[in-house]
Structure 1
Amino acid sequence: MILTEFDYVRPVGLEEALTLLAGTPGARALAGGQSLLPDLRTGAARARLLVDVRHLEELRGVETAPDGTLRIGALTTLAELAAHPLVLERAPEIAAAARANGDPQVRNLGTTGGNLAATGRATDLPVAAIAAGAEAELAGRHGRSTVTAEELAASGVPAETVITALLVPPGGPAGAFEKSADRATRYPLCASAVRITTDGPRIAVTGATARALRLRGVEDRLGAGPYTTDNVLAAFRAEPRELFVPGRGTSAEYLGHLAGVLTARALARAQAHA
């Protein structure tokens, strides 16, 4: 049962879709629908108009830009993202996060852009995108722009805009993702993503925190390593306990420890493939 009434339109191109979103208060873009449709059913979301962008080929595909940046179209499904050779080679934390999402049905329908844009719940791609230093490309009636994955996680997708692509900088295989999933929903109870760079590790967590966050304090404490489990756990113990949000029968102390354990595993995996 859908608890809200809405109109539906299938635009022929991105520009028409943007015009419809800008011209109709309460309009929402529909891609995979794995978050939006359940929210409409429960009343957690409202929409006056659904703008179906699922068929727009300009928002699909994975390619490499001249500078080595990986451009992942927003309509690339999670299943495609998890198996794409370029993503596996150059952004393994992104591929692993996509592979960890839900079940095969969710991954075959859910999209890269939709997973990044989901609000009100922890999802897997944002934390991996933050660790990878990725940006989201946005399109609106006044042109295109980019925001960092970290900024997107903090503020969400601006009104009347859509995510058109995820832009992942060159990084190679030294990235990894680890997750402890809620058994009922498959959303992350806690997930950690890392990318080891020449300047040290980039570390981000989600589920255990209010939103996907980059943990610069942990990064600074670990520096150039070694990234032993003891060192990683000590770095996490130094983080403020209020950073971790208790819930679903878990304490902040437990979630802080779990985030450290998952990060240690991710760093070990990243080092093994570097």
Structure 2
Amino acid sequence: MILTEFDYVRPIGLDEALTLLSGTPDARVLAGGQSLLPGLRIGTEQARLLVDVRHLEELRGVTREGATLRVGALTTLAELAAHPLVLAEAPELAAAARANGDPQVRNLGTTGGNLAVTGRPTDLPVAAIAAGAVVELAGPDGVRTVSAEEFAATGAPAPDLITALLVPAGGPAAAFEKTADRASRYPLCAAAVRITPDGPRIAVTGATARALRLRGVEDRLRGGEFTTPAVLAAFRAEPRELFVPGRGTSAEYLGHLAGVLTARALARAAGATG
């Protein structure tokens, strides 16, 4: 039972949805509902209006536009995990979607919803950061884009709506690794990597306050081999305060775990190109 009182509307198109979101304080988007609906039930989420966008086909699907994959915000995690273009060109994103929750969550949860979750780590943001992706937002002032790294820090300011994730097509030299919290299945720590001609792109979440790109680790590994000792040494050189203790873990443990997962991901990514 949901005790919170709110109004509900099902707009016929994106323009109407944006008008409703911009015209109503505390309006919330209903897409997959995997985070919002449980929050409404227990009172941790509030809404005066639910704007149901689940039927807007213009926000679904994966297409290739030149050297970029366009992932509609309503594309489900299950669709993302199995899509041939994503598997071939952004395997870290497919793996992150596949690692998310259980089949029911993946069949209902959406790409945009997973990116927009605040207050706890989710899987897609770290993969999007490693891939160099950008988030497309629509709002009263039109359409704009923001890097996945910046979006992880700021979120989507109301009343903007996530419309797509734009991912550079990079081939198989990418990977994602995760150790899940046993109770919640959210990442205790997750790492995503993409190996580029300029060196590795590395991002972690769960062990840190939010999904972060670790440029210091990248710099220490650039030009060398991605051996486990080298990766762990690169992580040991990071400030300990970067890693946030909690859930029975220490900063030292989480820093080591992040290094182990990154080493595994780099080995997998490097092996995929061999």
The answer to whether 1:237 aligns with 2:256 is no
- Residue in structure 2 matched with residue 12 of structure 1 by the alignment: 12
Q: CA deviation at 1:3?
A: 3.8
Residue 33 of structure 2: aligned partner: 33
Alignment of 1:12-91 (within 5 A): 12-66=12-66, 68-91=67-90
Structure 1 partner of 2:206: 207
Shift of 1:4: 1.8
Report the Cα distance in structure 2 between the residues aligned to 1:50 and 1:226, rounded to whole angstroms.
51
TM-score (norm 2): 0.99
SS in 2 for 1:178: strand
1:53-99 alpha-carbon deviations (Å, 9 max, x no partner)? 00000000100002x10000000000000000000000000000000
Residues 86-132 of structure 1: CA deviation (Å, up to 9, x unaligned):
00000000000000000000000000000000101100000000000
How far, CA to CA, are the matches of 1:224 and 1:56 in structure 2?
46
- Please list the CA deviations of residues 229-273 of structure 1 after superposition, one character each: whole Å capped at 9, or x if unmatched: 000000000000000000100000000000000000000000011
In structure 2, the residue corresponding to 1:233 is in which secondary structure? helix
1:106 aligns with 2:124: no
Percent identity (aligned): 82
Q: Give the SS at the match of 1:47.
A: coil
Residue equivalent to 1:142: 141
Distance in 1, Cα, partners of 2:118 & 2:93 = 19
Question: CA deviation digits over 1:161-194, x for unaligned, max 9?
Answer: 1110000012111000000000111100000000
Distance in 2 of aligned mates of 1:271 and 1:231: 15
How big is the shift at 1:225? 2.2
> Structure 2: which 5+ runs fail to align?
none
Report the equivalent of 1:96. Answer: 95
1:225 aligned to 2:227?
no
1:3–1:217 distance in 2 versus 1, CA, 3 Å = farther
User: Following TM superposition, by how much is the alpha carbon of 1:2 offset from its aligned partner in structure 2, in angstroms?
Assistant: 2.1
Counterparts of 1:30 and 1:18, CA distance in 2: 13
- CA deviation vs aligned residue, 1:141-176 (integer Å, no higher than 9, x gap): 221000000010000111101110000012111000
Report the secondary structure of 2:190's partner residue. strand
Q: CA RMSD in A?
A: 0.6
- How far did residue 41 of structure 1 move? 1.4
Instruction: Give 1:260's aligned residue.
Output: 259
**Alpha-carbon distance between aligned partners in 2 of 1:224 and 1:53, rounded to the nearest angstrom:** 46
| Letter of the structure 1 residue corresponding to residue 251 of structure 2 | A
User: Runs of 5+ in structure 1 lacking a partner?
Assistant: none
The answer to whether 1:193 aligns with 2:181 is no
The separation in 1 between residues aligned to 2:21 and 2:163, in whole angstroms, is: 14
* Runs (4+) off by over 4 Å: none
Letter in 1 for 2:73: A
Question: Is 1:171 the equivalent of 2:170?
Answer: yes
SS at match of 2:252: helix
Partner SS for 2:78: helix
SS at the partner of 1:168? strand
Partner of 2:152: 153
Letter in 1 for 2:205: T
Provide the secondary structure at the position in 1 that maps to 2:201: strand
Deviations 1:16-61 (A, max 9, x none): 0000000000000100001111111121111100000000000001
TM-score normalised per structure 1: 0.99
Between stretches 184-193 and 2-11, larger displacement belongs to 2-11
Distance in 2 between residues matched to 1:107 and 1:49, nearest whole Å: 25
